[in-house]
Structure 1
Amino acid sequence: MFRIPKANLQVMAGEELPGVLILDVGGTHGVLENLAALLKKHFRVITLKEFHENKEEMRKKIQSVFVFEGRPTIDRELLESLPNLKVIGNSGVGVDHLDLKMISSFGVKVTNTPHAVADSTADIGMALMLTSARRLVEGCQIAVSPDTKYFAVDWLGVEVTKATLGIIGMGNIGYKVAQRAKAFDMRILYHNRNRRRKEEEEAVGAHYCEKMEDLLQQSDFVMLVVNLTAETHKLIGRKELGLMKPTATLINISRGAIIDQDALIEALQNKVIRAAALDVTYPEPLPRDHPLLKLNNIIITPHIGTATVQAIRMMTEEAIANILAVLNGKPIPSEVFPK
């Protein structure tokens, strides 16, 4: 478990707390109250409403922004109104909602929280794989339905144990997935920009596929664990889906736009692949009449990869450590650089 050194969380006695801007406390989109309480130990918390109501005073006090669930929106107008802003602390690992080049042009640093999210996101990847393989959602519906009089003997799923898992993206989260898959005696393939060290591969029994196509052709389950960039946008399209086994399942725990959703709809409708399990879509949530919502060989969850009590607290603590490191001129644990 990620632990922040206490020294990183100290504020000098007698000093005015540095201002941190957040969207709100509580409500539908605001920072959860217990997380806001953590922030208040180290910062003067200023909501977006308070900032707009007293902009002249608040603009000079705000030295950081805490981005929670992608909010508040960081645009040029906001950056221009905060002359003393030094850092944007993103809660979460993905920063595709932030224009890193624009933010950097204002001399502002961006940080994320890769350590805090790895276990919980890997867990949801395994949960989606197991749920889809064993058709747990359908099974629950059958078990509780008032119309059920008997359980059909030909209602079958597929096994995860000894199956082949292809992991696309072997960073912190992808490696955590591999560790879990090893316990299921799975054959593990992976594709990544950079190959892992031999010792790391051997520790989880993972085999490197230099070409993503080789992984797609061999895998029973394909799990996407990559960051959303210009290169990975619609990484999985009609061609890639066509390379997969007709018995394969596609699992996405990264970002919705990694998949060409129109191509996925076709593949699921035409049984090009067996099933899909998505914790992310584009947009989120999908419009209620979206074709993906009408298919019976898909599972969609509401982007809950890091939605655990432990993970969101760790993410906040990691973001606080990052922000304080920037403000105190110390080495930054998790800085994100524009490409």
Structure 2
Amino acid sequence: MAKVLCVLYDDPTDGYPTSYARDDLPVIDRYPGGQTAPTPEAVDFTPGRLLGSVSGELGLRGFLEAAGHTLVVTSDKDGDGSVFDRELVDADVVISQPFWPAYLTAERIAAAGNLKLAITAGIGSDHVDLDAAIAHGVTVAEVTYCNSISVAEHVVMTTLALVRNYLPSHRVVLDGGWNIADCVARSYDLEGMQVGTVAAGRIGLAVLRRLAPFEVGLHYTDRHRLPRAVEEELGLTFHESAQDMVPHCDVVTVNAPLHPETEGLFGDKLIGTMKRGAYLVNTARALIVDRDAVDRALRSGQLAGYAGDVWFPQPAPADHPWRTMPHHGMTPHISGSSLSAQARYAAGTREILECWLAGRPVREEYLIVDGGALAGAGAHAYSVHG
């Protein structure tokens, strides 16, 4: 029997919901490109419920305990003596979300003698030391595509919020004011601007498709160039590197995985080559940008705005400079954890567990590390440096 350790974020401050704003969810059977949505044998939850917090348990307890397995769920993941560290010692499986990552460092993997499977309930497994997972024979899997469109929608929303100065204008209303000049002094139209994405995978391409109707110029850079037919359909301009692309853009959105080639990419040097007054949107990973360089660029006016929902570490400390820097649209890491997305990544997590516990192959597209090497989606997105 397996011990499954699941690390989830805390319940709402006023308690686990007893009712919801909506009664149902649209049914999503397939993603763009044809990949099917998760197909577990069954689910023990109602789609649209809060599944990603501690009491939601990703809907897994009944399934696991009925088969004789042990499920431990906690939000306590950091600091000496955390529940995560105590329970990890004999855990066979670790599950966590990118929004509340259980950082599986090399030291933690070495201390977890039974660990065989690390599941990301969502997408993005950079909180797992992939080199250590390979060295210790740990399989790493994530629910590929489950919340890619959720994140793409968040990118479009925050882009418009920055360019149109939405959040400060909303604050004027909340504060009882009505000074229109205060609201529009930093408000522009997105129409006619040049927008570029660093990486044009599932999220980046979805962003490009959603922005095309806004009559903007579209740019991208990616180590895997898109098919010519897609470039022509959307009118895309390809650039060999981020360094080549960003001087041409009024808005840059980061949709790349975190790996050695992207860590620290947007520092003072690269931001300094962007148009003065450009906007930067990052829903990928915080370490792709230099924290203090972003703060400096907003204060100097080199950047007109910065938005996103990824921080390091997560949760971010109260004194993190991104909480107080000017002209930002930051949120907690929520872009991929809508109730809609949760139904998919909870179902995908169960699908992975069903396969692994029964000794069946896990979907190739869900694999990041398997058999002591990068595999599946991981071989496409990540690079490993031993």
- The code of the aligned residue for 2:72 comes to T
Hey, what does 1:283 align to over in structure 2?
A: 313
In the alignment, is residue 336 of structure 1 matched against residue 368 of structure 2?
yes
Aligned length: 315
Listed as ranges, the matches of 1:94-113 within 5 Å are 94-113=124-143
Hey, what does 1:209 align to over in structure 2?
A: 239
Would the aligned equivalents of 2:51 and 2:343 in 1 still touch at CA under 8 Å? no
Cα distance in structure 2, aligned partners of 1:78 and 1:238: 34
Cα RMSD after superposing both structures: 3.1
Hey, what does 2:264 align to over in structure 1?
A: 234
- The code of the aligned residue for 1:65 comes to V
Find the partner of 1:47 among 67, 72, 76: 72
Hey, what does 1:9 align to over in structure 2?
A: 41
Hey, what does 1:260 align to over in structure 2?
A: 290
Find the partner of 1:245 among 258, 275, 283: 275
Hey, what does 1:152 align to over in structure 2?
A: 181
Q: 1:5 to 1:102 in 2, by over 3 A?
A: closer
Q: What secondary structure sits across from 2:361 in the alignment?
A: coil
Q: 1:330 to 1:292 in 2, by over 3 A?
A: closer
* Structure 1 unmatched runs, 5+: 12-25
In the alignment, is residue 309 of structure 1 matched against residue 339 of structure 2?
yes
Would the aligned equivalents of 1:278 and 1:301 in 2 still touch at CA under 8 Å? yes
Would the aligned equivalents of 1:92 and 1:117 in 2 still touch at CA under 8 Å? yes
Cα distance in structure 2, aligned partners of 1:252 and 1:204: 22
Q: 1:216 to 1:107 in 2, by over 3 A?
A: same
- Give the alignment's TM-score, normalised by structure 2: 0.72
Would the aligned equivalents of 1:66 and 1:90 in 2 still touch at CA under 8 Å? yes
Cα distance in structure 2, aligned partners of 1:308 and 1:246: 34
Task: Compute the displacement of 1:125 (Å).
Answer: 0.5
* Structure 2 unmatched runs, 5+: 1-27, 31-35, 44-49, 75-82, 375-383
Choose between structure 1 and 2: higher helix proportion.
1
Task: Compute the displacement of 1:138 (Å).
Answer: 0.4
- The code of the aligned residue for 2:340 comes to Q
In the alignment, is residue 64 of structure 1 matched against residue 97 of structure 2?
no
In the alignment, is residue 272 of structure 1 matched against residue 302 of structure 2?
yes
Listed as ranges, the matches of 1:128-147 within 5 Å are 128-146=158-176
Would the aligned equivalents of 1:86 and 1:326 in 2 still touch at CA under 8 Å? no
Q: 1:258 to 1:38 in 2, by over 3 A?
A: farther
Cα distance in structure 1, aligned partners of 2:331 and 2:219: 25
Would the aligned equivalents of 1:63 and 1:87 in 2 still touch at CA under 8 Å? yes
Find the partner of 1:197 among 219, 227, 230: 227
Structure with bigger gyration radius: 1
**Residues 157-198 of structure 1: per-residue CA shift (max 9 Å, x gap):** 111123211100111111111110112122110011111111
In the alignment, is residue 161 of structure 1 matched against residue 191 of structure 2?
yes
Q: 1:179 to 1:248 in 2, by over 3 A?
A: same
Cα distance in structure 2, aligned partners of 1:123 and 1:99: 29
Q: What secondary structure sits across from 1:161 in the alignment?
A: coil
Would the aligned equivalents of 2:298 and 2:326 in 1 still touch at CA under 8 Å? no
Would the aligned equivalents of 2:155 and 2:281 in 1 still touch at CA under 8 Å? yes
Task: Compute the displacement of 1:286 (Å).
Answer: 3.6
Q: What secondary structure sits across from 1:249 in the alignment?
A: strand
Q: 1:39 to 1:105 in 2, by over 3 A?
A: farther
Would the aligned equivalents of 1:87 and 1:108 in 2 still touch at CA under 8 Å? yes
**Residues 130-181 of structure 1: per-residue CA shift (max 9 Å, x gap):** 11111111001112213x2543385341111232111001111111111101
Find the partner of 2:118 among 80, 88, 91: 88
Cα distance in structure 2, aligned partners of 1:81 and 1:249: 43
- Give the alignment's TM-score, normalised by structure 1: 0.82
- The code of the aligned residue for 1:336 comes to I
Cα distance in structure 2, aligned partners of 1:176 and 1:42: 39
Q: What secondary structure sits across from 1:162 in the alignment?
A: coil
Q: What secondary structure sits across from 1:95 in the alignment?
A: coil
Cα distance in structure 1, aligned partners of 2:283 and 2:102: 23
- The code of the aligned residue for 2:360 comes to G
Hey, what does 2:60 align to over in structure 1?
A: 36
Task: Compute the displacement of 1:296 (Å).
Answer: 2.6
Would the aligned equivalents of 1:163 and 1:220 in 2 still touch at CA under 8 Å? yes
In the alignment, is residue 181 of structure 1 matched against residue 211 of structure 2?
yes
Cα distance in structure 2, aligned partners of 1:130 and 1:42: 47
- The code of the aligned residue for 2:181 comes to A
